[in-house]
Chain A
Amino acid sequence: MSRKKTAEEYQKTFAFRFFRWLSGEKDPYNGEMEMHPQKEYQPDPEAVLRHEKEHDAIMDKVYDTEHNKWLHLFHRLYQTTSILFCLFLIALLLVTVSYLPAIGSVTRPVNNEVSERYIEKGLEETGAVNIVAGMILDYRAFDTLGESHVLFVATITVLILLRLNKTEKDEAEVSDRRFEPKNDAILQLVATFLVPVIIIFGIYIILNGHLGPGGGFSGGAVIGAGLVLYLNAFGFKKTERFFTEKTYKWICFFSLSFYCLAKSYSFYTGANQLHSVIPKGTPGAILSSGLILPLNIAVGLVVACTIYAFYAMFRKGGF
């Protein structure tokens, strides 16, 4: 064996690592990422015992049917009335449905001048090929503004509930380790290929929102799903390089502010019968339909970040 390299040098080469991995001796990513094998979750036996004991005691005390007949009776009564109520509701709704106008016919009251105008004039008035996108982001934009704030306020409540402070965070991180995949090479390889595809697909959905099915919300959700997959495969340390709480905060802030301001401008000009300076563009082109494209992008950003934030919050109470 004529080796040009010393043993130490050899250990740094790719071939060494490859053969070692092949023989199952050592993991190639070991030491470089945080995903060393984790200890299985072992609930503290004493705590479990205590909980069970307490649980039993409470059950004995409260659900003891002999000593607590009233509760039992009340429980039964509640269940029966609920079931009866639900059966009644089903019957009521079915009767109602049977009186409603027939599905699929043109003569339903729903198909009135409102939808006609959306279909006939929608393209020309909003510039969006996708009439639904034109409708929700231009005709009925106030609803959509509210909707994005529903998402915002939900994120805020989740933050309130699950965000931890510094010391708690460290503990949470320790217990979070057990979520980490145990060196799953398959997952990581698949993720390497899939994540870009998913994210690009998401971007496509967002950008194409006014031209075809899709839009800010669904595209954002897809991107968010891509990010979650990436996070699951590679762990928090990797994602924290480009996505922290600060990033989230500012992206959300700028997107929502842009949304608010843009819509305020459009509402204001609309209500006061002023001329809006935003061009409509050629229908069908990517840069068309006035504010719809930027709004879609803003919504997409917010949604993607929000979904990632939800996931991160759920897992360890922070980014």
Chain B
Amino acid sequence: MNFICNFPFFSILLSLFSGTICSVLPAKAAKVVNRVVIIVIGLMSAVLLLYLLSTGESFIYWMGHFPAPWGNEIRAGVLEAGMALFFCIIMYLSMAGGAHKLPGEVVESKHNLYYILVNLLLSSLLALVYTNDMFTAYVFVEINTISACGLIMIRQVGRTIEAAVRYMIMSLLGSGLLLFGLCIMYDLTGHLLMSNIKESVGLLIANGEYQIPLIVSVALMCIGLCIKSALFPFHAWLPDAYGYSTVSSAAILSSLVSKGYIFLLIKIIYRVIGFDIFNSTRIIDVLFVFGLMGMIFGSLSAIKENDIRRMIAFSSVAQIGYIYMGFGMGTQAGMVASIFHILSHAATKSLLFIAAIGLTDVSGGSHKFIDLTGAAYRNKWAGAAFTVGSLSMVGIPLFSGFISKLLFAQAAVQVEGKMLASLIVLGISTVLNAVYFMKTVIRIYAYAPDAPYKGITFRDMKAYAVVLVCFILLNVILGVSSQPIVDMIGQGLAMFA
């Protein structure tokens, strides 16, 4: 076995272990450890991605001395490695972009706890990405949930704690349903390993046995993960959680945590149930409808919002709706579009959060639009970055948002029954997006010479500006050279089967 094949295992264990180490380190050292770990894991994932692209096939890695149905396993393919790499990049940039705000938001003595949470969150995300075992997935979903809750309420104002409670309640409902579905699945197939379950499910379907419990189990797992990833009717906790937590937390939560669950759902669809069987159920129609509703209602709530960060948070609801709409189409193209949208949305949304904090900083810390007037003149880098993020969200060509919309539309054109609905809602949602994002952009570029706030120059925020530039580049790269990435996603999905 090639040494590179150890990398997924190393990255999971490294991030877990670094969490433990951070518990005895002072805050400064914990920060360094955190950064180094993210970089190292990112590098490992990049190498792994290259290796997998060159070999062209996925591999299975035993976690222990025992092979498939007895021991735990993890599995790495192109999509997994790519996701891990992408998660590391976004996480590093989000952490670096919010680092200067941390001392003001979190009590000094709790900084190292913050880094522990981030490390454990990363490890759980990696485990969700790589795992090949449903129960392991459940355990790491719980780690993910708890550490996300920690990240929400580490800034202890009333709103975040309330949001954390709401988040926990919704998440626990979700985990309960997920676990119940899992148990039924285990009862029917006798396995917990994804590949074995898939085999048994195929047999059951072929023999026509246990149809109803099978469908119920799949439905329960799907609903559980939908609840956890804040699909439209279950999004009540989201605006408070994203709007008031620390800036890095908001960026990480919106761009990574919900995406981890969505990626798990993709894995379940492909690796546990089988894409064709999943599409033959009515579940995709439900996902489709809720996705469409999310797209519209999320945007409408965002328009009504008067607080920039809550507005961005509501826009997340709409974007998650896009992803589920892609699932709901039930075609390979829709799936590719959804996965691309995961990437594009992660890059854009964290950019928006990080840029928004730069703007609010030069407006006396207020999130209200009225105070943000002219903020882009006071912090030019953040203003430019916010504009880029908005343009990407609106779907202007050259930025990542356009490509994902293009992919969605192309996918929609191929599905006869759902074509019109998805295209029309896509259009409405795009225009609504344009309304609230452009409103904000105009607001921050409106001239307010008598604003009582001081501007900030490049010299005072070098690291921050560099992060913003990286984010903008990431967006443009996704928007301009999307073809290799789309190919890679296709290849990765092919490896799933």
Interfacial residues, chain A to chain B (CB-CB below 8 A): 92-93, 95-96, 99-101, 108-114, 117-118, 125, 138-143, 145-147, 149-150, 152-154, 156-157, 159-161, 163, 165, 249-250, 252-253, 256-257, 260-261, 263-264, 266-273, 276
Contact = CB atoms under 8 A, between A and B. Distances in A.
B208 to A, nearest CB: 12
A114 B17 contact: no
A156 B110 CA distance: 10
Contacts of B116: 153, 156
Interface residues of B, number: 62
B63 A141 contact: yes
Nearest to A161: B153
B158 interface: no
A112 B13 CA distance: 31
Contacts of B256: none
Contacts of A159: 110, 113
Given A99-B210, A149-B143, A152-B20, A114 B64 contact: no
A160 B113 contact: yes
Interface stretch (B66-74, B406-414, B425-433, B473-481): B66-74
B73 to A, nearest CB: 9
Contacts of A257: 17, 20-21
A159 B64 CA distance: 33
Interface of B: 1, 5-6, 9, 13, 16-17, 19-21, 23-24, 61-66, 69-72, 74, 107, 109-110, 113-114, 116-117, 120, 123, 127, 133, 135-136, 139-140, 142-143, 146-147, 149-150, 153-154, 156, 161, 180, 184, 186-191, 200, 210, 212-213, 216-217
B19 A146 contact: no
B459 to A, nearest CB: 34
Contact of B64 (A99, A142, A154): A142
A269 B140 CA distance: 23
Given A112-B190, A156-B120, A157-B147, 15 more contacts: A99-B213, A100-B210, A101-B188, A108-B190, A118-B70, A140-B135, A141-B72, A143-B139, A152-B19, A157-B153, A159-B113, A249-B24, A271-B9, A272-B1, A272-B6
Given A157-B150, A160-B150, A253-B20, A109 B139 contact: no
B64 A100 contact: no
A270 B66 contact: yes
Specify the main secondary structure of chain A where it touches its partner. Answer: helix
A256 B142 CA distance: 18
B203 to A, nearest CB: 10
Contacts of A92: 216
Contact of A165 (B6, B109, B190): B109
Given A149-B16, A260-B17, A270 B113 contact: no
B65 A153 contact: no
